[in-house]
Amino acid sequence: MPSRRNREKSDAEHVGELYQRMYAVARRIPRGKVVTYGQLAELAGMPGAARLAGAAMRASTPETGIPWQRVVAKRSRTTAKIGILDPIGAAVQRSLLEAEGVRFTRSAGISLAEHGWLPLD
DNA sequence: CAGGTGACTCTTT
DNA sequence: GAAAGAGCCACCT
């Protein structure tokens, strides 16, 4: 039997438990709201692991049903932006967000005051 | 075990 | 505000 040395990243059933915790939090983000990668990591109990949050969202697949588009990059104290580098993927994320009511500023920013999610909601 | 990587973020120029 | 540097953390080879 082949051992699972070659983990299929696309196999959402077998991603690490840490990623699963990220996903668990992400699933609670309401429509029209967003959280930053750092915030997601913190809420998942991994403060400082913002980059991992990014990796987790990237590793998510359509089958997992995770609202990955609601996780964005913090760019200042009051605004966030799409974190995806690939222009096409970034456009997709923006479309998904706009479809659920997220408003973008002239410079493609997202007001955290308006759309930032506080788990208290 | 070691070194490279990135959908991050904060501080300093 | 943009650009550059430096931490950051777990994953992948």
Q: What is the pLDDT of residues A33-84, one digit of tens each?
A: 999 999 999 999 999 999 999 999 999 988 889 999 999 999 999 999 999 9
| Helices vs. strands in chain A: H and E counts, helices first | 5, 4
Contact between A25 and A44 under an 8 Å Cβ cutoff? The reply is yes
Nearest nucleotide (C1') to the CA of residue A89? B7
pLDDT digits (tens, 9 = 90+) for A1-19: 433 334 444 344 567 899 9
Evaluate the CA torsion angle A37, A42, A44, A45 in order and state its sign.
Answer: positive
The pTM (predicted TM-score) of the whole model is: 0.90
What's the CA–C1' distance between A40 and C5, in Å?
25
User: Is the C-beta of residue A50 closer than 7 Å to nucleic acid chain B?
Assistant: yes
Average pLDDT of chain A, as a whole number: 89
What pLDDT band is residue A100 in, cutting at 50, 70 and 90? Answer: very high
CA atoms within 13 A on the CB side of A94: 19
